[in-house]
Amino acid sequence: MATHAKPEKVEKKPHPLAGQELQGSDIVMQVLADEGVDTIFGYSGGAILPTYDGVFRYNESHPDKKIRLVVPANEQGAGFMAAGYARSTGKVGVLIVTSGPGATNCVTPIRDSAADSVPVVMISGQVARASIGTDAFQEAPVFNIMSSAAKHTFLVTDENELEETIRSAFHIARSGRPGPVVIDIPKDVQNSHVKFKGEGLLHFRGYNDRMRQLHEMQITDKIASRFFRLLENSSRPLVYAGGGVICSGAAETLRTFIERYQLPCVTTLMGIGSIDTQHDLSMRMLGMHGTAFANYAVQDCDFFISIGARFDDRVTSDIKAFLANAKIAHIDIDASEHGKVKIADWGFHGDVRKTLEELMEHGKDFNKDFSPWVRHCQELRKNYPMDFNRETADLMPEYVLEELNKLIQGEAIVATGVGQHQMWAAQYIDVKEPRAFLTSGSMGTMGFGLPASIGAQTANPDRMVIDIDGDGSMRMNIGELETAVTYNIPVKVLMLNNNADGMVLQWQDLFYEKRYSGTEKNWHTKDFVKHAQADGFKFARRVEKKEDLHAALEAFIAFKDGPAFLEVAVAHSHVYPMIAPGKSYAQMLTGPFIKAREEVGDIDVSNTNAF
């Protein structure tokens, strides 16, 4: 009979600094280093000065393991840079700012990160503890303000808990459903001297219990059999993949899942990259500005399998009509998302990757032929493709992105601002892998693209990173052009300029009887190329003619000597398809150039010409 020796207990070596008395600011830096932080984005100021001095001293004493500091033009830029770093890597992005306006300038990127489940840790300075509540210089109630915007917020009032607080912030940011955590540190806490422990977390009984329960959740035979019974009874199943697939690192698992059972797949805006957009089973993005063929597939499906998605209003529109005749399955790590918008016929609260792996293990013998439905979806994609006015001599924004796509072929990391260009990028740019399409989804924050692309490029120095932006979004954080030059960050900025807030103008055109209040910008006189040149861009060009576009794009892509800026003057155009707010998928507007199908009754997937 074989015997097995008990595994030897490996004693954890104490931290080399354990037991030493350190200044609070040095503790901040040491914990950041221990957490693997290699880049900090931020702006200094009085209340955070001790920690910025700590950055200098840490780098001076660790010449081989320096933590890079990127100083933006504005703290909002720092927040979006940290978010771009996190979105493109899955690692926690870090920003450090001062008190008062420094911290309040970060409310938008923190809320944006919370809405899109992005792991970020923000450290802000605060006035000394004795001054809190006195309206001291540059004091703001950061804890109160950020508590409603972040996943969690700390105000460090005990210097003996500083170390554990920072370590816990990283744990909270990256565990469960990821999100931003804010740590507000009074200046006197940064200046205090306490004994460094080298380990330890704060204890949060409720949160820790939930994380443990999540980890222990398993799909039983009974739960799995209910799912596969729904799948067996379906003839037109459709997977709906959201940002949770990417957050959980489940893109490869998703691909295995849909290939094993031959399930066509649509994605949300945040789910772009969870499956290669050119995959045979990909139906690209659904929803308000989703592709026509994706939305037709949603109309036709009889079993909707939601994976890491939250049924947001840009997807559902008319909630009662949405999937009125389909069964729904819902997998999500956040219990609060289950039943929030749509009641599922089958649901499981757990990590996406683990859940899909367990489902496939239970369903290894499941075998049903969905090939007629797959052919139906492929015919939808073939017969109702994206399109636009190809005959005009005007530079159409869709044409610009179609030409860019031919050059980059899904190999670049793409960030976007917010507006029409964002939707066209989602429609026309191919994305092969997760974390390669970065955009502000839930919040829809103009000004996101440029700083996010800088953060992504900093995190991925060997990748091509392109910011696809609009003139409106560009103005929001245009100061960060200088940041790209200052740190020689070779991001490529493609700006589509239609002299308007195009998306809002589109709504005014369609729903407000063409009353263009505050959206036309033809009176603006900014020369964006000169601005970029003044900031130090060696490549800064403007294209106004269709025949000049391809050569300009080729030069833009080929440029290697630092950041590049290309402005393209585009004609006004509407983003189609469009499902107007509150309307059903059956009322989708396809516009004058995208083919629309006639009304159909029952779908017979055994005959792919039945539609």
Domains with residue ranges and CATH for the chain: 21-213 (3.40.50.970), 226-383 (3.40.50.1220), 397-569 (3.40.50.970)
DSSP string, 506-575: HHHHHHSTT---S-B-TT----HHHHHHHTT-SEEEEE-SHHHHHHHHHHHHH--SS-EEEEEE------
Residue 520's pLDDT is 85
Residue 2 pLDDT > 70 = no
Residue 11 pLDDT > 80 = no
What CA dihedral angle connects 82, 87, 93 and 98, to 10 degrees? Answer: 30
Q: Edge to edge, what strands does the sheet with 181-186 contain?
A: 68-70, 39-42, 93-97, 120-126, 181-186, 152-155
Tokens found for residue 482: 């200088």
Burial of 16 from C-beta contacts in 10 A (0-12 / 13-18 / 19+): exposed
Assign 432 to helix, strand or coil: coil
Alpha helices in 384-501 (DSSP H): 397-408, 420-428, 449-459, 471-476, 480-486
Residue 185's pLDDT is 98
Pairing verdict, β 21-23 and 193-195? antiparallel
Tell if the pTM clears 0.85, that is, is over it.
yes
Q: Which amino acid is at 255?
A: R
Rounded Cα distance between 558 and 551, Å, is 11
The pLDDT > 70 percentage for the chain reads: 96
Could you say which DSSP state residue 458 is in?
H
Average pLDDT over residues 540-566: 98
Average pLDDT over residues 495-506: 95
Residue 603's pLDDT is 57
Residue 337 pLDDT > 90 = yes
Average pLDDT over residues 427-449: 97
Residue 167 pLDDT > 70 = yes
Residue 524's pLDDT is 84
Q: Which amino acid is at 361?
A: E
**pLDDT-based confidence at residue 604 (cuts at 50, 70, 90):** low
Tokens found for residue 319: 């909630």
Chain mean pLDDT for the chain: 95
Residue 500's CB: how many other CB atoms inside 10 A? 22
Residue 598's pLDDT is 83
Residue 609 pLDDT > 90 = no
Residue 9's pLDDT is 59
342 vs 156, 239, 303, 312, 358, CA distance in Å? 40, 16, 14, 10, 24
Rounded Cα distance between 351 and 308, Å, is 9
Average pLDDT over residues 580-598: 95
Q: Is the Cβ–Cβ distance between 100 and 135 less than 8 Å? A: no
Residue 3's pLDDT is 42
Q: Which residues are catalytic?
A: 75, 137-138, 187, 503
Assign 62 to helix, strand or coil: coil
Residue 605's pLDDT is 59
**pLDDT-based confidence at residue 10 (cuts at 50, 70, 90):** low
Tokens found for residue 144: 């109160």
Rounded Cα distance between 520 and 490, Å, is 32
Average pLDDT over residues 247-273: 98
